Amino acid sequence: MSTSRAFTALLLAAGLSSAGCVRSYAHQPALSFQDLDYTSEGSKQPWPVKRIPLPRTANQYGMAVVPQMAYVDMPGSGPDAKAVVFIHGLGSYLKFWRAQLDAFQQQGYRVIAVDLPGYGKSDKPGTFPYTMEAMADAVLELVDGLGLDKPVLAGHSMGGQTSLSFAIRYPESLSALVLASPAGFEKFSWREKEWFARAMSSEFIKSAPEASIWGSVRQANFMHWRPELEWLIEERVRLAKSPEFDAYAYANVRTVRGLSHNDFVRDNLHRVTVPTVIIYGTDDRLIPSPFLHGGEARGIMEYGASHIPGAKLVALEGCGHTVQLDCAERFNEAAFAFVRDAAAGRIEVPSAPAKEEAPRPESPPAPASEPLTPERLPPPTPGQEGEPTPGVLPQP
């Protein structure tokens, strides 16, 4: 059996093992990414979606066309309100923070949530590098473009690794980190990295049966599934019928390729100089990778916390990988307390060692189908890691 077929079989088994009967959305009409329902969970009021061009990022990575990134910007309680920037994980989009956006705004914060390049309502250019470092550069351009004064970054899974890369490389541009089940801590051998790169293909993502989608979303990400979360399944099934889905699938494949060829974040955790909290579910079924070496999330998260100066570790018992939706109330309680203390300057971070020259890791290899000449290659930036390789399986 081929690697990708074995991968699909595992997901299908997970889908079929989900308890109870499930609703099928296979006969629902196609859904465009631009028509995704970005509204408040309670009031159903639409979030104000905006777009920002990324000329600096395009120039940095030799892109001929300037991409645009979609984001939501919700005002805080006043002009000096602290901003919190939410960054989603692999295969998802800003709506995966649905239980946090309105809740944080109600606490008085300015709330910004991004659709990273290749995801959600953002452009999906084939020439974007799709490394966590390129993602972080796009977030930095948004932070600078909106004139945000050292925002808090909140990142889930791959978004957590993106946030860590941001903090390591641009320490003066943020004030704190909220990491939800972050990728980037788990160690992978070169054989494991290559396995993930081979297993993930556009065809694998596009051809995933609905049963495997139920498995990868419900069974792999949640311990407390409930009917109001079925939008995760419906949107994924219907998006697969959209003409844009090919570009989305390709973005996922490129992201996995970037993720699987880099230990930049893991090797530089000691460079994080801002207050950091790691919130994770003890029953995470994606970190560490169940397809390779297994284990428990606790050990992986303890490793990360022990290498980030002064990091706080919060374990939510009985919660899964998408912890911010699975156990929203407990997650918000922990996140509110941390951000409140960080904003008030009540969290001390151990003094960092004398500043050294910023690391210049290698860029990940480009696919053979996209030859890049030396003149077109972007400047050296950290490679990448993230979801499937760093232990997180994307939604097929």
Concatenate the DSSP letters of all residues of 71-124 into one string: EEEE--SSTTPPEEEEE--TT--GGGGHHHHHHHHHTT-EEEEE--TTSTTS--
pTM: 0.87
376 within a domain of the structure (yes/no): no
13 within a domain of the structure (yes/no): no
Between the CA of residue 25 and those of 106, 197, 202, 211, 233, what are the distances in Å? 34, 30, 21, 11, 8
Give the sign of the dihedral formed by CA 60, CA 62, CA 65, CA 71: negative
Distance CA 169, CA 165 (A): 6
The per-residue pLDDT for range 264-305, each reduced to its tens digit, is 999 999 999 999 999 999 999 999 988 777 789 999 999 999
Place of tokens 């909220």: 178
95's tokens:
């709506």
The per-residue pLDDT for range 52-71, each reduced to its tens digit, is 999 999 999 999 999 999 99
Distance CA 1, CA 321 (A): 29
Distance CA 49, CA 174 (A): 23
Domain total of the chain: 1
Report the pLDDT averaged over residues 130-140. Answer: 96
48 within a domain of the structure (yes/no): yes
pLDDT for the residue numbered 62: 97
Distance CA 40, CA 101 (A): 8
22 within a domain of the structure (yes/no): no
10 within a domain of the structure (yes/no): no
Distance CA 391, CA 240 (A): 24
17 within a domain of the structure (yes/no): no
| Distant-in-sequence, close-in-space partners of 6: CB < 8 Å, separation ≥ 6 | 199
Between the CA of residue 289 and those of 195, 322, 389, 393, what are the distances in Å? 12, 15, 8, 8
Q: Could you give the count of Cα atoms lying within 13 Å of 374 in the half-sphere of its Cβ?
A: 0
Both ends of the chain: CA-CA distance in Å? 19
Q: Which domain holds residue 267?
A: 39-344
The per-residue pLDDT for range 183-241, each reduced to its tens digit, is 999 988 888 888 877 888 899 999 999 999 998 899 899 999 999 999 999 999 999 99
356 within a domain of the structure (yes/no): no
Of 147, 140, 149, 146, nearest in space to 175 by CA: 149
Q: Is the per-residue pLDDT at 355 higher than 70? A: no
pLDDT for the residue numbered 371: 32
Of 319 and 371, which is predicted with more confidence?
319
Say if CB 380 and CB 200 are below 8 A apart: no
396 within a domain of the structure (yes/no): no
Average pLDDT, the chain: 86
Q: Is the per-residue pLDDT at 366 higher than 70? A: no
